[in-house]
Amino acid sequence: MRKYLKDINVPVIDSHTHILPKDVKDNIHKYLDIDSTFNTLFSNSETIRTAEELIDSMDTLKIDTSIILGMGWNDNKFNEYINDYLIESGKKYPDKLIPITGIIPNGNNEAIYEAERCVNLGAKGFGEIHADAQNIDIADQKKISPYVEILQSQSLPIILHSSEPVGHKYPGKGSSTPNKIESFVYNFPELKIILSHWGGGMFLYELMPEISRSFKNVYYDSATSPFLYDQKIFQIAIETVTSDKILFGSDFPIISQSRLLQELNNVIINDEDKQNIIYQNAKSLFLTN
């Protein structure tokens, strides 16, 4: 029996997790100089977990499926290596893990080919894009368009790392704040977009009618929510954009899956809202293709 969400009779999908190969975990210093994003985010091996370690967490908490995301890598070969691991993990555990592969959105042919390769091998989207770490401007329509075309041809989503324009600093915090996110969404209005970390507060701007209209295909996940916001954010987001646009995401292993589940379980009262956030929305984005 589940420790949390005991009365909710739908599967649980964690829409935001990260895994890396055991080789990377065991030989972390070998890779620190290869990829600058890896160096910034994973200099501490304690924050690295393999597919099997993620599944152990899922089994303990009765989480049915996890979406395993790529990262904003900078080195093409390292990106390919991690993408292969994500895809292989999805094939090894097809009922538990769904791969979203990393891209290096610089517009060159090698990077575009890698994106196409991953979709052909079963990737269910691209992300998590880290604009600052990858030295890209998400509002640069010309460089981003080739990847968007690949996604839209398969009705697949993109996941953007989003940041708050105020507050404390932390590794990975960047400049993909609401103003830049707005430009990205305006450039690609038909693309399914998931904004990580509550979109850096972007959902609040959907109280503006013109933003709400333009953001019809935008979703928000709760990744690392306890590190950033009071738990009241769940109910505030539901009241602002409805539970139809919110995804349960933990950001495992940076934060435990249990901590997010506990917050969600404690704060959200309505069972339909819980079902949308833990299952229905993720199902429509990741399990319908």
DSSP secondary structure letters along 87-122: HHHHHHSTTTEEEEB----S--HHHHHHHHHHHHTT
pLDDT at 124 over 70: yes
**Band (166; pLDDT cuts 50, 70, 90):** confident
Please state, in angstroms and rounded to a whole number, the distance separating the CA atoms of residues 286 and 155: 10
Would you say 66 and 252 are in contact if contact means Cβ atoms under 8 Å apart?
A: yes
pLDDT at 169: 76
Residue of higher predicted confidence among 30 and 164: 30
AA letter at 155 = S
The alpha carbon of residue 284 and the mean position of all alpha carbons in its chain are separated, in whole angstroms, by: 15
pLDDT at 45 over 70: no
SS3 193: strand
**Band (15; pLDDT cuts 50, 70, 90):** very high
**Tokens in use for 178?**
């609401």
The whole-number average pLDDT for the span 154-178 is 83
pLDDT at 172: 67
Would you say 48 and 25 are in contact if contact means Cβ atoms under 8 Å apart?
A: yes
The whole-number average pLDDT for the span 198-220 is 97
Is it true that the peptide bond before 21 is cis, omega within 30 degrees of 0?
Answer: no
Closest CA to 196 of 251, 126, 263: 251
Domain ranges of the chain: 13-286
Q: pLDDT > 70: what percent of the chain?
A: 97
- 241-286 pLDDT, tens digit per residue, is 999 999 999 999 999 999 999 999 999 989 999 999 999 999 999 9
| Residue length of the chain | 289
Residue of higher predicted confidence among 286 and 138: 286
Task: Give the other-Cβ count within 10 Å of 142's Cβ.
Answer: 8
Task: Give the other-Cβ count within 10 Å of 105's Cβ.
Answer: 25
Please state, in angstroms and rounded to a whole number, the distance separating the CA atoms of residues 14 and 6: 16
pLDDT at 116 over 70: yes
Would you say 181 and 114 are in contact if contact means Cβ atoms under 8 Å apart?
A: no
Q: Which ranges of 155-243 would DSSP assign to H, the alpha helix?
A: 178-187, 209-214, 225-228, 233-241
Closest CA to 284 of 73, 31, 10, 56: 10
Is it true that the peptide bond before 116 is cis, omega within 30 degrees of 0?
Answer: no
**Band (6; pLDDT cuts 50, 70, 90):** confident
Task: Give the other-Cβ count within 10 Å of 118's Cβ.
Answer: 26
pLDDT at 146: 95
The whole-number average pLDDT for the span 163-170 is 75
pTM of the model: 0.96
- 13-286 belongs to which homologous superfamily? Metal-dependent hydrolases (3.20.20.140)
Please state, in angstroms and rounded to a whole number, the distance separating the CA atoms of residues 166 and 151: 32
Would you say 193 and 245 are in contact if contact means Cβ atoms under 8 Å apart?
A: no
Mean pLDDT, the chain, rounded, equals 93
pLDDT at 108: 87
- 62-79 pLDDT, tens digit per residue, is 999 999 999 999 999 999
**Band (289; pLDDT cuts 50, 70, 90):** low
Please state, in angstroms and rounded to a whole number, the distance separating the CA atoms of residues 35 and 79: 9
Taking only Cα atoms into account, the Rg of the chain, rounded to an integer number of angstroms, comes to 17
pLDDT at 164 over 90: no
